Amino acid sequence: MNLKGIKLTWLGHATFRIETPGGKTVIIDPWVMNNPACPDSEKKIKKVDVLLCTHGHGDHIGDAVEICKQHNPIVVGIPELARWLGKKGAKNVAEMNKGGTQIVGDIKVTMVHADHSCGIQDGDELVYGGEACGYVIEFSTGLKIYHAGDTNVFSDMGIIRDLYAPEIVMLPIGDHYTMGPREAAYACNLLKPKSVIPMHFATFPVLTGRPSELHKLAPGIEIVEIKPGETLGEKDVATHGIRQRTA
């Protein structure tokens, strides 16, 4: 895996922090405070320039409002979700929709399809949050990463491959609420990435899929299993190699 100057930290579940070559901090699906998989040392967000929100479920945007109030990042989301966050205090909203691409900070962001529900729990009310999505992120070094969000496998992942060719993909594998290892292995065949980082598993007992299962079902793909709170970076990879666990 060549991370080409970025540092990537998994904060548990579907939440990632990415430090770009230009010094910006990007957080995808900000859920840390009540995220049981997030280490205590990472529960306080110290810096964030860009928030990317895939959909409105609480285990993906649970801390978005508080982070917006504290750090005033650029917030990217589908219009219904982005405007809801704006009503809750986000002052720097950069809404977009599927198929669109925009420059945010020092990254190029393309919103792509995800096959999942999207409702925002706002007190006692369930608010329509638009549709769920994923993101293809391109960095100044040319590296492209695809965060699939919560999704089932869908055939248009082949189009994502043809149009954007992400080298690294984050795929949910937990099953029950998203695809499990079998569907994720099929997604690997469609996307043909160099490396896959499994996510959205083991946070709760019902999320039973495991990276070891994906490794068996997708033997030609590099499955990179990292622990919550662990950071992958160019120096780390060069020194220690990929921490790939198959057991």
Report the C-alpha gap between 79 and 75 in whole angstroms.
11
Q: What secondary structure letter does DSSP report for 41?
A: G
Residue 244 has pLDDT above 70, yes or no: no
What average pLDDT does the segment 193-217 reach?
A: 97
CATH number assigned to the domain comprising residue 168 = 3.60.15.10
**Residue 245 resides in a domain:** no
Domain containing 215 equals 7-240
What average pLDDT does the segment 18-44 reach?
A: 96
Number of structural domains in the chain: 1
**Residue 1 resides in a domain:** no
| Cross-strand partners of 15 | none
**Residue 18 resides in a domain:** yes
pTM of the model: 0.93
- Where on the phi/psi map is residue 130: left (φ > 0), alpha (ψ -120 to 50), or beta? left
Residue 242 has pLDDT above 90, yes or no: no
**Residue 184 resides in a domain:** yes
**pLDDT value at residue 233:** 85
**Burial level of 208, CB count in 10 A (0-12/13-18/19+)?**
middle
User: How far is the first Cα of the chain from the last one, in angstroms, to the nearest whole number?
Assistant: 20
Pairing state between β 168-172 and 144-147:
parallel
The residue that leads in pLDDT, 1 or 155, is 155
**Residue 247 resides in a domain:** no
Pairing state between β 168-172 and 101-104:
unpaired
Report the C-alpha gap between 31 and 97 in whole angstroms.
22
**pLDDT value at residue 18:** 97
**Residue 59 resides in a domain:** yes
Residue 51 has pLDDT above 50, yes or no: yes
**Residue 136 resides in a domain:** yes
In Å, the largest CA–CA distance within the chain is 50
What average pLDDT does the segment 237-245 reach?
A: 40
Residue 247 has pLDDT above 50, yes or no: no
**pLDDT value at residue 2:** 85
**Residue 113 resides in a domain:** yes
